[in-house]
Amino acid sequence: MGVELELGPDVLVPRDETELLGKNAVSILGHIEGAPVVVDMCCGSGNLAVAIACHCLEARIWAADLTDSTVALARSNVLRHSLADRVAVRQGDLFEAIEPDSLQGTVDMVVCNPPYISTSRLENESAHLLNSEPREAFDGGPYGISILQRMIREAVDYLKPDGWLLFEFGEGQDRQVAALLARSKAYDEPTFALADGKPRVAIVKKRRVSRLSETMA
């Protein structure tokens, strides 16, 4: 997205699919009036947070990740681009990292590039990924969707009604992603952005009224 970033040995190297996520996020944010509030969950080097801030000059962004190395590098990239007045970097386990910021119900968009490769694949055909990048950046649990499940569920409390959730997922996981979103009863039907003709980014809105509330009514 035209942004120069510092990288490190303990942090995921951004891929083309994440740029696809970022470009779709910027396109949507361009139609939101005022100063949109954005959360970059599993921020890694801060690539999405920094790129969005550089392209959306009114956006206020909270970026979060779990490990010391990712948070330190993200903060370094924020300072590198003089964005500390609009981008805050927090450390913690998913949305627990930003809980003290009292953002519940105020967020216009959550973006996320979570770990989504199964543990067994990382121990076999995808083991080469761990030669130069950390396991935490890839390991999505037994089926590759453990972090995706949590992120989809936890984002609901932070998004505004009609707020946007955009996230990357693995090749061939689009049906699982659609099922997870439907099961939450909190989102509209997703659309998918394609990389090399394959769905790799989910784009979905939080429903104004959850299906659960409609059923109870």
Provide the CATH number for the domain around residue 84: 3.40.50.150
Q: Name the one residue in this structure whose structure tokens are 């429903």.
A: 207
pLDDT of residue 137: 59
Longest dimension (CA), the chain: 53
Decide: 53 and 83 in contact? Cβ < 8 Å: yes
Alpha carbon separation from 208 to 69, 182, 187 (Å, rounded): 38, 15, 9
With respect to residue 46, please indicate whether it lies within any of the assigned structural domains.
yes
pLDDT of residue 24: 98
Query: Does residue 196 sit in helix, strand or coil?
Result: coil
- Reading the chain (217 residues) residue by residue, the pLDDT tens digits are 999 999 988 787 888 889 999 999 999 999 999 999 999 999 999 999 999 999 999 999 999 999 999 999 999 999 999 999 999 999 999 999 999 999 999 999 999 999 766 566 656 666 655 566 565 656 556 556 789 999 999 999 999 999 999 999 988 999 999 999 999 999 999 999 999 999 999 999 999 875 545 555 5
Query: Does residue 202 sit in helix, strand or coil?
Result: strand
pLDDT of residue 117: 66
With respect to residue 149, please indicate whether it lies within any of the assigned structural domains.
yes
Residue 206, both tokens: 């939080």
68-80 helix and 47-55 helix, angle to the nearest 10 degrees: 20
pLDDT of residue 209: 73
pLDDT of residue 12: 79
- In single-letter form, the type of residue at position 52 comes to I
With respect to residue 154, please indicate whether it lies within any of the assigned structural domains.
yes
With respect to residue 11, please indicate whether it lies within any of the assigned structural domains.
no
Alpha carbon separation from 163 to 39, 48, 159, 186, 208 (Å, rounded): 11, 18, 5, 11, 9
Q: What is the domain extent for residue 169? A: 16-216
With respect to residue 2, please indicate whether it lies within any of the assigned structural domains.
no
pLDDT of residue 125: 63
Dihedrals phi, psi of 205, to nearest 5 degrees:
-105, 145
Count of structural domains, the chain = 1
Element (H, E) at 107: strand 107-112
pLDDT of residue 208: 86
Q: What is the pTM of this model?
A: 0.89
Closest CA to 69 of 12, 138, 23: 12
- In single-letter form, the type of residue at position 215 comes to T
Residue 68 buriedness (CB in 10 A; 0-12 / 13-18 / 19+): exposed
pLDDT of residue 14: 83
With respect to residue 59, please indicate whether it lies within any of the assigned structural domains.
yes
Residue 185 buriedness (CB in 10 A; 0-12 / 13-18 / 19+): middle
With respect to residue 22, please indicate whether it lies within any of the assigned structural domains.
yes
CA atoms within 13 A on the CB side of 31: 7
With respect to residue 3, please indicate whether it lies within any of the assigned structural domains.
no
pLDDT of residue 146: 87
Distance of alpha carbon 22 from alpha carbon 55, whole angstroms? 10
C-alpha 65, offset from chain centre: 10
